[in-house]
């Protein structure tokens, strides 16, 4: 899985922080799983998500960032369970959002896609919230002027890394470790 956009060094800032945090709590392995299928969807998912994400960012920046991580988790689960079916869905983000609505997309993904028990749901909610808070803090400290191209690109870099972290992959049993 391509984990950073080499043309945007801000992605590396988000990537390194999230990777360090998630690795420290045992949610990801040191080596990222490779999944071109999931990365290939990024441009379409981002384009679909941006109107909702940007609208929500002003009042609810943590939610705006967190929902993209949930989206990445759902896409990873779909990839694992029936990619032949879900790869045919025209717009996976809208498909997920419209199952309930934007505000309850996290609950839908945890309960109906990931099939989490209430205790697992709470644990994931806490972890995703921490990831979103950390990313928001890093984004804020870049001192990007709101409404500028740089601020937009910073936001896109942040949600891209939230999407890619794929902590659900390890929870589904994928462990990418070096052999030997």
| Chain segment 64-83, per-residue pLDDT in tens | 999 999 999 999 889 888 88
H helix intervals, the chain: 9-24, 36-40, 42-57, 61-86, 92-97, 105-108, 118-140, 149-164, 167-171
pTM for this one? Answer: 0.89
Reduced to 3 states, what is the DSSP secondary structure of residue 178?
A: coil
Residue 1 has pLDDT above 60, yes or no: no
Pair 165, 131: CB distance under 8 Å = yes
* Distance (Å, whole) CA 23 – CA 25: 5
Residue 23 has pLDDT above 70, yes or no: yes
DSSP string across 141-156: TTTPPTTSHHHHHHHH
* Distance (Å, whole) CA 23 – CA 128: 14
Read off the pLDDT band of 102 (50, 70, 90): very high
């Amino acid at each position: 899985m391509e984990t950073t956009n080499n043309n945007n060094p801000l992605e590396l800032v988000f990537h390194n922080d999230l990777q360090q945090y998630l690795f420290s709590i045992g949610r990801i392995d040191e080596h990222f799983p490779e999944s071109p299928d999931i990365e290939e969807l990024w441009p379409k998912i981002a384009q679909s998500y941006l109107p909702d994400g940007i609208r929500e960012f002003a009042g609810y920046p943590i939610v705006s960032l967190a929902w993209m991580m949930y989206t990445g988790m759902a896409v990873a689960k779909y990839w694992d369970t029936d990619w032949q079916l879900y790869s045919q869905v025209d717009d996976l983000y809208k498909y997920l959002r419209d199952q309930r609505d934007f505000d309850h997309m996290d609950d839908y993904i945890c309960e109906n896609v990931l099939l989490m028990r209430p205790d697992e749901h709470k644990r994931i909610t806490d972890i995703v919230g921490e990831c979103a808070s950390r990313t928001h803090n890093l984004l804020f400290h870049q001192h990007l002027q709101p409404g500028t191209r740089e601020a937009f690109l910073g936001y896109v870099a942040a949600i891209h890394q939230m999407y890619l972290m794929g902590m659900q992959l390890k929870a589904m049993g994928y462990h990418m470790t070096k052999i030997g």
